[in-house]
Structure 1
Amino acid sequence: MAFMSAKVPSLVRLVFYTLSSATFLFAAGTGAAGVPAIYVFGDSTADVGNNNYLTGKAARANFPHNGIDFPEQRPTGRFSNGYNGIDFLAIHLGFRRSPPPFLSIASKFNHRIARGTEGVNFASGDQEFWTPRSLFLISTGGNDIFGFFSQNLAPNNTEKERFINTLISTYEYHLQKLYGMGARRFGIVDVPPIGCCPFPRSLNPTEGCVDLLNELALQFNEATKIFMSDLSLKLKGMKYSIGSSYALVSNIIHNPSPLGFKETRTACCGAGKFNGESACTPDVACCTERNRYLFWDMLHPTHAASKLAGLAIYNGSLEFASPVNFKQLAEELY
C-alpha cells in the first residue's frame, strides 16, 4: 500500500488551510449549506448513544474512559474519547454536533424532528419527517464484513463476490426505500481499512494488518461507487457524495507525523496486544496523548482522527470525497 504516500500532501495542505481558515469553513457550513436537518444511519462508528437504550446489547460506551474529551468529560455512548466523525460533519454543516440518538427521544415525540428542523441519529445497528433538502448520512458495512470474516477466514473469490453482491443489493434496497419516502441527498461514508484496527491486528500472528478484511472493504467501497452512480441516474433528483474514510485512515497509517499522529497500531484505551483484546472500560489503561493516537479503542478512531476525517470529507479533494465533497453536496440547489 505504498502508493498512499504519494497522496498525502493534499491532506496535509487541507489541514494547514483549515488551521488558518477555520472560521471561514465553519461560517460556510452554517450559512451556505442550506441543510435544515440531517438523519444518520450507521453502525458503532456513527452511534451517539442508541445502544444505551437497547436491552441485552453488549456493545456500549456509556462509561469511562469513553467521553473523557467530550464536553464535561461525559460518556454519552459514543465509542470515542470525544466526538465521532458524524459529529464533525454535522458541525461543518452548521449544527452543534450530531442529532440526538433516535431511541433517546422515541418515547417522547420531539416536535423539532417532526418539523424536519433538526434531524435524528438512528445509528447503532440499524419518518417521513424529512424534507427534500435534508441530508442523509450513512456509515455502514464494516460490521457486515467482520461478520463474514468471522464465519470464513479463507473465502474463495466466488464466496467473496457473492458476499459483496448481497451486501450491495441490501444497501441499494434500503436507499431506494429512503428515496421513496422523500430522501434526495445522501452522504455516504465508506468502510475504512478495518484490517488495520487493533482488534484484528491483535489476532494476526504477523502483527500486521489483516489483508483479507482490507480487501473486502475495498471491494465493497468500489461496488458502492458503481451502484450509487447508477442509482443517481435512475432516481430523479438524487444527489450523493461518498466520503472515503479508507483513503483518510490509510494516509494517517502510512504518514502519521505530518498529520499530527505518532501511534497508528495500538489503541489509546484497552488491554492486551495493541490494546486490541479488550474494549475500553474503566478498569483498563488509557493513554495521555490522546490527540496523537489514530485508534481510541479496539475498533474505533479517536476524536482527533474523526476531526481530520470530518474535515477531509466535508471540504477535501476528490481523493477524500467524490463525485463532490459534502460541502458541495449540501449546497446543491433544488
Structure 2
Amino acid sequence: MIMGSNTLMAMEGFVVCLVISREVLGAAAAAVLQPPPPMYVFGDSYLDVGNNNYLSGPNVPRVNRPYYGIDFPGFPTGRFSNGYNTADYIAKKIGLAAGSPPPYLSVAWSSSLVVSTALTIGMSYASGGAGILDSTNAGDNIPLSKQVQYFNATRSKMVAAVGSGAVDTLLSRSVVLIGAGGNDLSAFANAQQQSDAAAFYGSLMSNYSAAITDLYTLGARNFAITNVALAGCLPVARVLDAAGSCSDYRNYLADRFHDALRSLLADLAARLPGFLYSLADSFALMVDTFYDPQASSGFTDVASACYGGGRLGAEAECSLNSTICANRDQHYFWDNVHITQQAAKQRAQAFYDGPAKYTTPINFKQLVQMTAA
C-alpha cells in the first residue's frame, strides 16, 4: 500500500512528538529521582544536633536533659531547643526528610558509618558554644577551625572509599550551612572591650575567611550562611537591664558583624571560581518579627524564655524544677539564649524561599537549584 504525503507527514509528526515526549518524561523522571544534595553543617548551638553530648568537661554546654526535646522526639537529643532547630528545617526544605544530618561525633568511631552518612546525607559538625575564634569559650566546644578539620578527616575517608573524583563531584552539588559569630560577639560584649572593636572584627573576618577558604579548597562550593540575629534582644541580654529592654550595644555589634560578613562573602565570590553563596539575614527577620509578632508567626511572647526561671525566665539554669510554658509555639525563645522550634521553622522558611530582603544575593532554594543545574 502506498501512503499519501499527508499520511507520511502525520506519521513523521507523531514520531517526533513521541521522541520529544520520551525526552521530556525522561528528564522529569531524572529530576524526580535526583536525590537531595548532602548538607554539611558548621557553627554553634543554633545548629548543633548533639555533638556536645560527646564532649567531656564540666563546663561544656550540654542539653542532654529534660525538657529539651520535649516536642521532638519527646526526649533530649542534644539540640538546644524544644524540638527541631534551624538546621533541621533547612535540611527538610532541601529534601532531607529526617532533618539535619547527624552529629559527627556520634559516628566518628566508625569509618564506614562516617563514609556512608557523609556520602548520602552529609554531616553536622556544629557545636554549642563554638566561636569563629578559637579563644571563644576555649576548651568547652568544637571551634569552627576544628570543625573544618573534622570535615577534612571526613573527606579523606570518603576519598579512600570512592575516589577523589566522585567526592569532588558530590561536594560540588552539596550545601554547606554555616551559622557562627554569636558566641564571639557575646564574649566580646561581656568583656566590655569596646576600644578594641576594630581589631576584634579584623580577627573575626580573618578567621572566618580562612575557614570558608579551607572548605572551598576541600571541594565545597555552595555556602548557605546565616548572620547573627538581634543579640541584644535575647532574654539573657534583656535581663541585664532593669526595664528588660534590649541592649543597643549588643545589637550594634551584630549589625556591624553582618556588614563585615556581607563584604567578606562578596570578596570571596570575586576571587574563588565557582564559589556560590546565600547570606541569610537573621537580624532583619528578627527586627520584623518583633515589630509585629502576631502577624509574623503568631508569637505572643518575644521577650521571655519559655523554659527557665526568674525574671524573663532568664535568671536560672534550666532544670526539671524550672518553669516551662504550655504554649510553646507562641514563644519566640525556648531558653534564655535559644529560639523555639516554631521560631526555627520561621527562619528556615524565610531563608529558603521567603521575601528577597532576607537573603542576598540569592535565597537558599536558588542555591540548591544551582547545585543541581
Q: Identity across aligned pairs (percent)? A: 39
- Alpha-carbon contact 2:37-2:94 (below 8 Å) kept: no
| Residues 229 and 282 in structure 2, CA contact (< 8 A), matched pair in contact too | yes
Is 1:301 the counterpart of 2:334 in the alignment?
A: no
Residues 32/285 of structure 1: CA separation in 2 closer, same or farther (3 Å cut): farther
CA contact (8 A) 2:185 2:250 kept: yes
1:44 aligned onto 2:45: yes
Question: Which aligned pairs between 1:124-203 and structure 2 lie closer than 5 A?
Answer: 124=127, 125=130, 126=143, 127-128=154-155, 129=158, 131-152=171-192, 155-156=194-195, 159-203=196-240
Pair 49,100 (structure 1): closer, same or farther in 2 beyond 3 Å? same
- Please state how far the C-alpha of 1:318 moved relative to its aligned partner: 2.1
Larger helix proportion, structure 1 or 2? 2
Alignment correspondent of 2:268 = 231
Aligned to 1:123: 126
SS state at 1:301 partner? coil
Deviations 1:146-167 (A, max 9, x none): 1111111x613xx222211210
Q: CA deviation at 1:211?
A: 1.0
8 Å Cα contact 1:270-1:285 kept in structure 2: yes
Mapped partners of 1:309, 1:138: distance in 2: 14
Q: How far apart are residue 214 of structure 1 and its match?
A: 0.7
Number of corresponding residues = 300
Residues in 2 aligned to 1:138 and 1:253: alpha-carbon distance in whole angstroms: 24
Residue 278 of structure 1 and its aligned partner are, at CA, apart by 2.4
Q: Is the contact between residue 34 and residue 330 of structure 1 (CA under 8 Å) also seen in structure 2?
A: no
Whether contact under 8 Å (1:39, 1:121) holds in the other structure is: yes
**Following TM superposition, by how much is the alpha carbon of 1:34 offset from its aligned partner in structure 2, in angstroms?**
6.4
TM-score (norm 2): 0.77
Structure with the greater relative contact order (CA < 8 A, sep ≥ 6): 1 or 2? 1
Listed one character per residue, the Cα deviations across residues 13-64 of structure 1 (whole Å, up to 9, x for unaligned) are xxxxxxxxxxxxxxxxx95996421000000111100110100143111111
1:61 corresponds in structure 2 to 63
**Of 113, 117, 121, which residue of structure 2 is paired with 1:113?**
117
Contact 1:272 1:278 in 2 (8 A): yes
> For the residues of structure 2 that align with 1:179 and 1:257, how far apart are their CA atoms?
41
Matched to 1:306, the amino acid is A
What TM-score, normalized by structure 1, do the two folds share?
0.86
Show CA shifts across 1:232-273 (max 9, x none).
110000000011111122222111111200001010000111
Distance 1:168 1:34 in 2: 34
Unaligned runs of 5+ in 1: 1-29
CA 1:234/1:34 → structure 2, altered by over 3 Å: closer, same or farther?
A: farther
Q: Is 1:215 aligned to 2:264, yes or no?
A: no
Gaps of 5+ in 2: 1-30, 131-142, 144-153, 159-166
How far residue 279 of structure 1 moved from its aligned partner, in angstroms, is 3.3
Q: Which amino acid aligns with 2:81?
A: S
Q: Distance in 2 between matches of 1:39 and 1:178?
A: 10
Separation of aligned partners in 1, 2:179 and 2:273: 23
Q: Which residue does the alignment assign to 1:284?
A: 322
C-alpha offsets along residues 196-227 of structure 1, whole Å, 9 cap, x if unaligned? 00011111233201111111111011110111
Flag the 1:326–1:31 CA change in 2: closer, same or farther, 3 A.
Answer: farther
- Helix, strand or coil for the counterpart of 1:312? helix
Cα deviation code 1:272-319 (max 9, x no counterpart): 111112233222000000000000000000000000100000011221
> Which amino acid letter does the alignment assign opposite residue 163 of structure 1?
F
The structure 2 residue matched to 1:101, chosen from 100, 103, 108, is 103
Mapped contact 1:33–1:327 kept (Cα < 8 A): no
The answer to whether the 8 Å contact 1:135/1:187 transfers is: yes
**Quick one: which amino acid aligns to residue 199 of structure 1?**
V
Stretch moving more, 291-300 or 309-318: 309-318
CA contact (8 A) 2:309 2:317 kept: yes
Matches within 5 A, 1:69-80: 69-71=71-73, 73-80=74-81
Q: Corresponding residue for 2:311?
A: 273
Report the residue type matching 2:65 in the other structure.
Answer: F
In 2: Cα distance, 1:246 partner to 1:217 partner: 8
Residue number in structure 2 paired with 1:17? none
1:136 to partner: Cα distance: 0.4
More displaced 10-residue stretch of structure 1: 39-48 or 250-259 = 250-259
Deviation at residue 108 of structure 1 after TM alignment: 1.7
Distance 1:33-1:139 versus aligned 2 partners, 3 A rule: farther
For 1:184, the aligned partner's letter is: R
